[in-house]
Amino acid sequence: MTEQRRKPTLKIVTFKNPSGRFAYRVTGTIHGGRVQKNFPSHEAAEEFMNGLLQSGDQGDSAPRRVTTTLLREEDMKEAELAWGRLRKKHPEGSLVTAVDFYLSNAGQVIRDAPAEDVLVLYLSRRTMRGNQDATVAVAGSILRKFLREAKIVTISDCNQERASAWIFADDVEVRTRQDRRAQIHNFCEFLVREKYLSRNFVDDIEPPKVTHDGKVTTITVEQVLKLLQVAAVAPVGRKGVKGAMLPYFACCVLSGVRPDEARRLKRDWMWFSKENRVITGFRAKTSKKSRTIEISSELVEILEFCRKLGYGPSHFTDVAFESIRREAGVYDLWDNDILRHTYASHHYACMRDMKWLEKNMGNSEGVLLRSYLDQTVVEATGRRLLAITLDDIVPESVRAGMIRDAAPLSAALPDGPTSLSYDQSLKLLQVAAVETIGKIDPVRGGMLPYFAVCLLAGLQPKEARRLGPSRKWFDRENFLIKVPKLGEPKGQAAEGKPVDEAEMNESEIERTIPIHPELVEILEYCRQQKLSPSQYVDWGFEKVRAKAGLADIWDNGILRRTFASHHYAWKNNAVWLEKHLGVSAFGLKKSTLNREVQGEAGARLFSIGRNVILTA
């Protein structure tokens, strides 16, 4: 039975297009297929429709293929939805103009949000993925600097123009530019996955190219020996402990350990195997695999001597590091990896074993040849460096005396950021609350407010001493301390109000610090006793520290580190601490937080107020 042919159902529909002009659509069915095509004039539409009808009347068994303007019903519905949303916001707007704008800004914001909040989410995701703390901290430091310096407040501010300007800033080196681009690229990949951006605009930023000039910085064997000899006798820290920096310099120049890796080698010496002649526990840059470094018998002897002294590579201070380099005469030659370059160059000169270097240095052959090896070093010179012994650095006749003298001192050396315990903090405030300062007009408890704001609010000592006898800096109703700028705030008293109680102008305030209720209680007690942090005197400071038994472990930042370490243990909020203390994430973790402080100890510190006041 022959299928009955369907009758064509073509018609012309007049409509108004997004540009505001009338158009004409031929729509319907013919030859069993749907037709839908737009024309600018009625005549053109009619001519097209008549041509189709004529073809149908002639019984064309293979009609010409018709190209329709709109291919799918879904497209029509989406266009109508877009048209309706555009007209609702902009009654005179053009859909074509809107599409053109979107296409010209492709890669920009799909949905907006505060940039800092999204960055915190990004860093937390990286931590959950198993990234190392140091890696996440570096990423956070670079990206927060980007947000701050490029003035990125919301995701809509994050674009190619601002990113490119920040990456290629005139005052940064090429390698720094590479790091900046890589970190922003990774962040934007996250923004694309989370539907903040439609595409990663960093792909359009040309990667900075490093041009190597062929020069590798190294020092001579004589300079290495002088450096180690100076380090063996140089005083380190407040106690002036001699030789405490020797293991750091020895590890760097006689094994090729990276400077930051050496500083992470703890004083428990679990990383050192005398029997197997290895240093262990390093993590490769590009993988999660551990890296083990084989060391010479000469370095084993040096490190074993250092272990007997009680020192480790983590016994590092910036002051000693600078003074040792100056005395050794290498300060002006220095760059960050000069000891690592020196070791690699001399080892390759005498051993010619690239595979061994790749394994122990943690770098590829290409990187070693391009950036590490000074191939002007000859074999004989290389052997001289690797032959440096303990006798060359410390004569045997003086070693026994050094070990004897170092025993009581090495235990006092810090291994990472130090802080006070809860009991030490309580004792300090109790002593401060009862000790009398002042010779002409003695004041009981005069040092209490100074120690309280440093220990329980994290103020820097110089900030605490700006808090004068007027109470303008203390807002007890809102639990705030307003740190004034340098110089005495002038302020304006309200009518009938004493100057001491006048509010501070915004221009007089450097920063505002939230404080907890226990500290408010302590400061209110001090206010009633007419005490203020600015009543600080040096001899009173020394007197309180000594009576609290803290003089031997004290350094300038110990109260601030105590505050940060206990607050982090209590609240686990690094972002709040970074803002409160004004430090980067990397600085917070590296130099401020004592990770031995655990949760309950942190909470106890901030309930210390009542105990101090009862004692006073």
Torsion of CA 604, 607, 610, 615, to 10 degrees: 30
Phi, psi at 562, each rounded to 5°: -65, -45
Structure tokens at 228: 């180690």
pLDDT of residue 509: 76
| Token digits of residue 99 | 């599409």
Q: How far apart are CA 561 and CA 558, in angstroms?
A: 5
Contacts (Cβ under 8 Å, ≥6 apart) of 313: 247, 248, 251, 257, 262, 263, 265
Q: How many CA atoms lie within 13 A of 610 on its CB side?
A: 2
Instruction: Give the residue extent of every domain in the chain.
Output: 11-71, 115-204, 221-410, 422-615
pLDDT at residue 292, rounded to an integer: 85
Amino acid at 91: P
Contact predicate 242/234, CB 8 Å: yes
Whether domain 115-204 has CATH 3.40.50: the reply is no
Residues 223-248 pLDDT 10s: 999 999 999 999 887 777 888 899 99
Residue 411 structure tokens: 């235990």
CA distance 473 to 504: 7
- How open is the CA angle 566-571-575, to the nearest 5 degrees? 100
User: Could you read off the pLDDT of 567-601 as tens digits, one per residue?
Assistant: 888 887 877 888 788 777 666 666 677 666 766 77
Q: For residue 156, with 0-12 CB atoms within 10 Å meaning exposed, 13-18 middle and 19 or more buried, which class applies?
A: middle
CA dist 156 and 178 (Å) reads 24
Q: 10 Å Cβ neighbour count for 522?
A: 25
CATH code for 422-615?
A: 1.10.443
**Positions in the chain whose pLDDT score sits under 70:** 1-6, 17-20, 56-75, 100-109, 209-214, 281-290, 405-417, 439-440, 471, 486-506, 585-591, 594-596, 598-599, 610-616
pLDDT at 499: 38
| Residue 482: count of CB within 10 angstroms of its CB | 20
* H helix or E strand, kind and range, residue 483: strand 480-484
> What gap in Å lies between CA 94 and CA 17, rounded to an integer?
9
Gyration radius of the chain's alpha carbons: 36
Q: What pLDDT, on the 0 to 100 scale, is given for residue 128?
A: 83
Contact 474, 527 (CB under 8 A): yes
The DSSP H or E segment spanning 108 is none
Residue 267's nearest CA partner among 285, 286, 244 is: 244
- Reported as a single tens digit per residue, the pLDDT across 424-455 is 888 899 898 888 887 667 788 888 999 999 99
CA distances (Å), 51 to each of 26, 28, 57, in order?
Answer: 12, 14, 10
CA 233 from centroid of its chain's CA atoms: 36
CA–CA distance, 242 with 410 (Å, rounded to integer): 10
> Residue 126: which of 177, 187, 197 has the closest Cα?
187
* Pairing status of strand 22-30 against strand 33-39: antiparallel
- The distance from CA 529 to its chain's CA centroid, rounded to whole angstroms, is 43
Residue 449: name the closest of 395, 340, 334, 530 by CA: 530
pTM above 0.75, yes or no: no
Alpha helix (H) residue ranges in 154-296: 160-167, 174-193, 221-233, 246-255, 259-263
State both tokens at 352: 């010619």
The answer to whether the 115-204 and 422-615 domains have the same CATH topology is no
Q: Give the integer Cα–Cα distance in Å for 352 and 375.
A: 11
* Residue indicated by tokens 């109680």: 501
The pLDDT assigned to 605 comes to 84
N- to C-terminal Cα distance for the chain? 111
Q: According to the model, what pLDDT value does residue 5 have? A: 56
Considering the segment(s) 221-410 as one domain, its CATH architecture is Orthogonal Bundle (1.10)
**Rounded CA separation 237/319 (Å):** 8
pLDDT of residue 30: 80
Q: Which residue has the tokens 């005469």?
A: 329
